[in-house]
Amino acid sequence: MPIIERVAWDNAGPEDIAYRFPKLTLKYGSQVIVKENQWAVFFRDGKAYDVFGPGRHTITSNNIPLLTGALKALGIIGDIFDCEVVFVSNSQFRANFGGKAYSAPSGDIKYQAEIGFYGYMLYKVEDPKLFVVEFFGNRGASTSRDVENYIRGFINERIISEFGRHDIFEVVKNADVTTDKVALKISDEAARVGLKVIDCVFEGINIPEEARRFASGLGAQAMMMQYMKETAGELKGAEGGGAAAAGLGAGVGLTMPFLMAQQLQQAQTAQAQQVVICPNCGAKNPVGMKFCGQCGSSLAPPAKIKCPKCGAENPAGMKFCGQCGSPLTQTAETTCPNCGAKNPPGMKFCGNCGAKLG
């Protein structure tokens, strides 16, 4: 194998985060050139030894003391030795992310909004040795795309779990606080593989229109009504031995929606119950009552007067017929000449004794 005199990562692309020079044979005096935005991590037999920062490094026993010290002591190397060098970029990279999450159950109906999110994270390698050992070494990954694929998982996981903690009212009002929290929590995850999260930018959070409406108090009430209506409709449909009815009958699934539906049914029943309004004070009295529970007035239907001309029925007390305008003059009661009983006007025979009423 030829002895390498000069090692440098010259052709790094915009997405390259690390590059491995496999099996280099270096000698004392070989040059390792590390650019200002790079590190070089030296490996031998799978072990990471030294990390070089930016600059031109001449391989001597002084600048790679761990590597040469250990190997020289064992008599493994002389002036020439084999090693691997992994160059790691120290520049900023961008990782896109996006997905859907649910907010925490909000309000009385425990509404959970489906929130869409997308954005990007700016990151860079902070600890090159940790990054190479924990991430690069096993995966053979070398571009920021590979890192992006890896970190996207835990970014999304963190975001989903974070949104799951905030109800929709909070998400709508404090989107920036929520996203800041996510960014800070991701930092710890990223640090596990030697990455530093510089910033986590949410380019957009899609909050559905209904969730926005829900977040306003009025919308929440409207949605609750709608929800109750739908639930009641479903329950009605399930009557007569449907699955839902069976479940409810057995006392299974006695949850909030069911309780609300029950309340709704009760309300509907109450509405359907007929009442009699007192003509005197206007109080509502159940059907069947004879006197008003409020003022004691009679709840008997008012007497009606038949128009002598057109025959239309008019309420008692009216002076003219509402149908033809004829005067509704009430004749006096007729007293029976035989027994003295009083008979309503217009009667021809006495209701008491049957005598002809003159």
Q: Does 177 bind another protein (CB under 8 A)?
A: yes
CB of 198 to another protein, least distance (A): 6
CB of 225 to another protein, least distance (A): 32
Q: Which stretch binds another protein (CB under 8 A): 175-183, 220-228, 292-300, 311-319?
A: 175-183
**Residues within window 41-60 making contact with another protein, judged by CB under 8 A:** 53
Tell which one of 63, 143, 187, 334 touches another protein (CB under 8 A).
187
Q: Does 76 bind another protein (CB under 8 A)?
A: no
CB of 55 to another protein, least distance (A): 8
| Alpha-carbon gap, residue 198 to 182, rounded angstroms | 13
Q: Does 36 bind another protein (CB under 8 A)?
A: yes
Q: Does 145 bind another protein (CB under 8 A)?
A: no
Paired sense of beta strands 18-34 and 38-44, if any: unpaired
Dihedral pair phi/psi, residue 148, rounded to 5°: -60, -45
CB 244 within 8 A of CB 238: yes
Q: From residue 47, how far is each of 60, 83, 84, 275 by CA, in Å?
A: 19, 10, 10, 90
Q: Does 181 bind another protein (CB under 8 A)?
A: yes
CB of 163 to another protein, least distance (A): 15
Find the length of the chain.
Answer: 358
CB of 64 to another protein, least distance (A): 16
Q: Does 35 bind another protein (CB under 8 A)?
A: no
Q: Does 126 bind another protein (CB under 8 A)?
A: yes
| Alpha-carbon gap, residue 171 to 193, rounded angstroms | 30
Sign of CA pseudo-dihedral 98, 101, 106, 112: positive
Residues 6 or more apart whose Cβ sits within 8 Å of residue 342:
333, 334, 335, 336
Q: From residue 82, how far is each of 24, 42, 50, 322 by CA, in Å?
A: 6, 10, 14, 118
Dihedral pair phi/psi, residue 343, rounded to 5°: -120, 145
Q: Does 210 bind another protein (CB under 8 A)?
A: no
CB of 127 to another protein, least distance (A): 10
Q: Which stretch binds another protein (CB under 8 A): 70-78, 153-161, 176-184, 245-253?
A: 176-184
Report helix angle 175-191 to 144-163, nearest 10: 130
Tell which one of 76, 184, 295, 347 touches another protein (CB under 8 A).
184
CB of 177 to another protein, least distance (A): 6
Tell which one of 51, 198, 260, 341 touches another protein (CB under 8 A).
198
Number of amino acids touching another protein (CB under 8 A): 11
E strands, the chain, in order: 4-8, 18-34, 38-44, 47-52, 55-58, 80-89, 93-102, 114-125, 195-206, 275-277, 284-286, 304-306, 313-315, 334-335, 342-343
CB of 188 to another protein, least distance (A): 8
Residue (53 or 337) nearer to another protein, CB: 53
Paired sense of beta strands 195-206 and 275-277, if any: unpaired
Q: Which stretch binds another protein (CB under 8 A): 70-78, 131-139, 180-188, 234-242?
A: 180-188
Residue (187 or 334) nearer to another protein, CB: 187
Closest CA to 5 of 89, 80, 86, 69: 80
Q: Does 201 bind another protein (CB under 8 A)?
A: no
| Alpha-carbon gap, residue 93 to 143, rounded angstroms | 10
197 bridge partner residues: 123
Where do contacts with another protein occur on this chain (CB under 8 A)? 36, 53, 126, 177, 180-181, 184-185, 187, 198-199
